[in-house]
Amino acid sequence: MRRALVPAAVVVAVLAAGCGTTDSHGGAPNAGGPLRGLAQRAGIAIGTAVDAGALSRDDGYRAELPREFSSVTPENAMKWAALEPERGKPDWAGADALVDFAGAHRMRVRGHTLVWYSQNPDWLTGGNFSRAELVGLLRAHIAAVVGRYRGRVGTWDVVNEPIADSGSGLRDSIWSQVIGPDYIATALRAARAADPQAKLFINETAADGIGPKSDALYALVKGLLAGHVPLDGVGFQMHAELAHGLVPGVRRNFRRFAALGLEVNVTEADVAVKLPATAADRGRQGEIYREMLDDCLAVRACRSFTVWGFTDRYSWIPTGEPGFGAATLLDDNLDPKPAYDAVARALRDDAR
Ligand code: XIL
């Protein structure tokens, strides 16, 4: 327990500096959290993906969440497979619980996600629908979901991961194959119609720096804007791995999207570590989180920074990337890691 080792002199110094006065982690001072207040002062939202199961069962998790974060993204609960596992029989329970929780704690909600190649129900992917049918289903889905949460979900990741990993064209999916490239504009227009106030985003993975994939994303977005398709921002996921660190050119990339008049958000930050994680790994991980957040804070259009889970207890990494883990800010006991301190420090030092 790192926090038990903090010498009294440090405690006094932290208290005197006016930070760390809140017992954000069960009674111990840390680098000056909670993050939520620091982020507010820095003028950005600080968010996390939320695991619906943990939210319903884990009291420690439920307590930590609104203390540290001002924004939530349902990790899976708003994906099509979760919302409509059987055709015409929607299951809103998980999504409703999160939106209600967020409302009760004055947190923003980032809706995730309306159109994706993955986590779709079998009836949809296996249904052999015609183009016209699929357009109809997509429009109806977006009208139902965005309409249900109108005024409560402020931002939507309308389209998730549209670009092929190679950067050459759109990613293969039932949407791109059956509807064609138009599915993106169709989805964005449907979302705008269902909630004219909500901010609409395209969210992309592995397009954080400058490269063929982010170039393709940039071209896509520029084309949409030229065609007056409603689009307010671009989300950069920023899943990273300790051994590789951050790709070069993140700030330059953010700035070129911002120059199109768009908001830029970091939407799914985490730093996967090859297990077992050493103390040195945890230190280096903190530096990478800090770089990520500094890249956001350096660009005025970057107004929200979301981590993909805030505790190793529920992180997707050990399942998604076997052999890796320890990717988040808090450990399995919800105690802060160096990454938490690094994020707090970045927010506190922010010179916006
Ligand atoms: C992941 C979830 O974290 C996992 O629980 C789930 O099994 C698969 O999806 N990019 C995204 C997210 O946009 O929706 C993904 O979430 C992680 C990668």
Q: What is the pLDDT of residue 3?
A: 34
DSSP for 247-299, written as a single string: PTTHHHHHHHHHTTT-EEEEEEEEEEEESSPPHHHHHHHHHHHHHHHHHHHTS
Q: Which protein residue's CA is at the shortest distance from atom 15 of ligand 1?
A: 75
Average pLDDT over residues 318-331: 98
Report the candidate in 104, 49, 103 with the shortest Cα–Cα distance to residue 77: 49
* Whether residue 291 lies in the annotated active site: no
Q: How far is the CA of 13 from the centre of ligand 1 (A)?
A: 41
* Whether residue 321 lies in the annotated active site: no
Count of residues for the chain?
352
Question: Band of the pLDDT at 252, cuts 50, 70, 90?
Answer: very high
Q: Which protein residue's CA is at the shortest distance from atom 9 of ligand 1?
A: 76
Q: Is the CB of 318 under 6 A from ligand 1?
A: no
Token pair belonging to 41: 């002062």
The CATH number assigned to the domain with range 33-349 reads 3.20.20.80
Q: How far is the CA of 14 from the centre of ligand 1 (A)?
A: 37
Interhelix angle 183-194/131-148, nearest 10 degrees: 30
Buried b vs exposed e over 260-271: b needs ≥16 C-beta within 10 Å?
A: bebbbbbbbbbb
pLDDT greater at residue 91 or residue 13: 91
The rounded distance, in Å, linking the Cα atoms of 72 and 267 is 10
Q: What is the pLDDT of residue 17?
A: 37
Token pair belonging to 205: 């993975």
Tell me if 254 sits within 8 A of 218, measured CB to CB. no
% of the chain at pLDDT higher than 70:
90
Q: What is the pLDDT of residue 15?
A: 36
Q: What is the pLDDT of residues 161-182, one digit of tens each?
A: 999 999 999 999 999 999 999 9
Question: Band of the pLDDT at 28, cuts 50, 70, 90?
Answer: very low
Q: How far is the CA of 126 from the centre of ligand 1 (A)?
A: 21
Q: Which protein residue's CA is at the shortest distance from atom 4 of ligand 1?
A: 316
Tell me if 211 sits within 8 A of 250, measured CB to CB. no
* Catalytic site residue from 68, 263, 268, 291: 268
Mean per-residue pLDDT of the chain: 92
Q: What is the pLDDT of residue 31?
A: 57
User: How many Cα atoms within 13 Å fall on the side-chain side of residue 219?
Assistant: 13
Residue 240 scores a pLDDT above 60? yes
% of the chain at pLDDT higher than 90:
90
Type of residue found at 305: F
The rounded distance, in Å, linking the Cα atoms of 237 and 75 is 13
* HEC assignment per residue over 49-118: EECHHHHHHCHHHHHHHHHHCCEEEECCCCCHHHHCCECCECCCHHHHHHHHHHHHCCCEEEEEEEECCC
Tell me if 155 sits within 8 A of 108, measured CB to CB. yes
Ordered by start, the domain boundaries in the chain are 33-349
Question: Band of the pLDDT at 30, cuts 50, 70, 90?
Answer: low
Residue 108 scores a pLDDT above 50? yes
Sign of CA dihedral 32, 37, 43, 49: positive
Token pair belonging to 119: 């986590």
Which of 16-25, 77-86, 139-148 shows the lowest mean pLDDT across its residues? Answer: 16-25
Question: Band of the pLDDT at 33, cuts 50, 70, 90?
Answer: confident
Residue 21 scores a pLDDT above 70? no
Q: How far is the CA of 118 from the centre of ligand 1 (A)?
A: 9
* Catalytic site residue from 161, 204, 263, 291: 161
* Sequence-distant contacts of 35-38: CB under 8 A, at least 24 apart: 35/68, 35/69, 35/340, 35/343, 35/344, 35/347, 36/66, 36/67, 36/68, 36/69, 36/70, 38/344, 38/347, 38/348
pTM score of the predicted model: 0.92
Type of residue found at 64: E
